[in-house]
Amino acid sequence: MNTLRVLHGCSFVLSLLLWIPLFAQAGQDKTVAQVSKTEIRGHVLGETAQEFLTKSNLLGRLASCRATPPKLWPESTPRCGALVAAADVGSAVIEFEVAPPTYVFEEGKLSKVWMRLGPFAENFRFLTEKYGNPAIQNQEPVLTPYGTTWQLVRAEWHMPDGAVIRAWESIVRTRPLNIAALETLTRVTSIEFSSKEEIERVKSKEARKPNPLN
């Protein structure tokens, strides 16, 4: 009887050991599933060119571009050349006249989104509302052409999917239409979204760059 109990106990322990890896794998799968892609204006970093064109309702324009000789392609954005390159080659830069983002595709996927907006404070608030607090935030003193020093802000977000969002202030010189009027200095915000694959691609490229001092 004692022997049967021991055998039964061993069988239970063995069964438990066999189930543990399955539970662990299920937990890992759940964790992976919960890591959402970084989203920008209805698009996500890493989506395919086909997905981008579909979401942007550009398949009709792409078809029209394909049916038109390149010499007759319209100058309006998004340009036909960029749409065809994104769909066929997988490497392209798609720009829009009205909306500020510029979309960059590498290896058939959306790898980078860049935009320039207005004052930093307002856009920083929008960024934190959508993506949380930044991982890095600092200020950099910059000397203006008029001898004054402005503190320009830089911030960086590290996203769960490995993407990185960088936002920084810069100074833009604007000259009014009136020639006699002095030019003005304006603070603008640049925001760059880079996918994990894009960051790794840049690092790999930098690692292969020869040292100019050698």
Query: If you write DSSP's letter for every residue of the chain in order, what string do you get?
Result: -HHHHHHHHHHHHHHHHHHHHHHHHHHHHHHHHH-PPPEETTEETT-BHHHHHHHTT-HHHHHHHHTS-GGG--SSSSPHHHHHHHHHTS-EEEE-SSS--EEEEETTEEEEEEEEES-HHHHHHHHHHHH-S-SEEEEEEEE-TTS-EEEEEEEEEE-TTS-EEEEEEEEEEE--SSTTSPPEEEEEEEEEEE-HHHHHHHHHHHHHSPPTT-
Q: pLDDT tier at 208 (50, 70, 90 boundaries)? A: confident
Q: What is the pLDDT of residue 172?
A: 85
Most confident option among 5-14, 75-84, 98-107 = 75-84
**Residue extents of the structural domains in the chain:** 39-208
Most confident option among 84-88, 183-187, 205-209 = 84-88
Q: What percent of the chain has pLDDT over 90?
A: 58
Residue 115 in this model has a pLDDT that exceeds 80: yes
Q: pLDDT tier at 180 (50, 70, 90 boundaries)? A: low
What pLDDT digit, counting tens, does each position of 143-158 carry?
Answer: 888 888 989 999 999 9
